[in-house]
Structure 1
Amino acid sequence: MEQLVDAFIQRANAFDVDGVLALFEADAVIDDVSVGDAFAGADGIRRYIERFFVGYHTSTRLVSLERLDDAAAIARVDFTGDFGHETGMLRIRTGAAGLIVRIDADLD
């Protein structure tokens, strides 16, 4: 899980949208209550990464990672970008293939 979270952050920070998408299963979902929407499948996740990471020049730093079980963890993160500074969490769940199937995201 640690390697997957690190890869997600590194690729998102590099604005490598295709690299980020490669970490997700095809039918994965990002549900971000802070923006009031869920983004499903590769097209939805692409829109999310392009809008909120690339579009706002977001840089993410991992603050802590708490493993919940073999397939889930909560990443506490620090975001900076054109919007200023925010902290939040990413509740990440993986599937049998070791790829992300769901992220529930929220700002503090």
Structure 2
Amino acid sequence: MQKLVESFIATANAFDVEGALSLFAPDAVIDDVSVGDAFVGRDGVQIYFERFFVGYNTASRLLSIETLDNFNANVRLDFTGDFGHEVGILKIAINSEGLIERIDADLE
């Protein structure tokens, strides 16, 4: 899980949308309470990355990972960008192929 999270952060920080999409299952969901919307499938994930990472020049820094089991972890990230500064929590679930199938995101 650590390697996947580090890849997620690296691709997001590089604004590498295609690289980020490669980490997600085709039917992945990002449900972000802080923006009041869910983004479904790779098309939805692409919209999410383009809008909230590229669009706001977001830089992410890992604060902690709490591994719950082989498929689930809670990740705490420090976000900075055009919006200012926030700390977020990502509840990440992966599938048996090691791809992200769901992220439940919120801000502290």
Q: TM-score range by the shorter chain?
A: over 0.9
How is 1:17-96 mapped onto 2 (pairs within 5 angstroms)?
17-96=17-96
Q: Which amino acid aligns with 1:84?
A: G
Q: Distance in 2 between matches of 1:88 and 1:15?
A: 18
**Structure 1-normalised TM-score?**
0.99
State the percentage of identical aligned residues.
64
The residue that corresponds to 2:2 in the other structure is 2
Give the alignment's Cα RMSD to 1 decimal. Answer: 0.3
Q: Distance in 1 between matches of 2:58 and 2:92?
A: 19
The residue that corresponds to 1:14 in the other structure is 14
The runs of at least 4 consecutive aligned structure 1 residues that moved more than 2 Å come to none
Q: CA deviation at 1:88?
A: 1.1
Question: Gaps spanning 5+ residues in structure 2: where?
Answer: none
**Structure 2-normalised TM-score?**
0.99
Q: Deviations over 1:32-51 (max 9, x none)?
A: 00000000001100000000
The residue that corresponds to 2:104 in the other structure is 104
Q: Distance in 2 between matches of 1:102 and 1:86?
A: 21
Q: Deviations over 1:18-69 (max 9, x none)?
A: 0000000000000000000000001100000000000000000000000011
Q: Distance in 2 between matches of 1:38 and 1:23?
A: 18
How many residue pairs get aligned? The number is 108
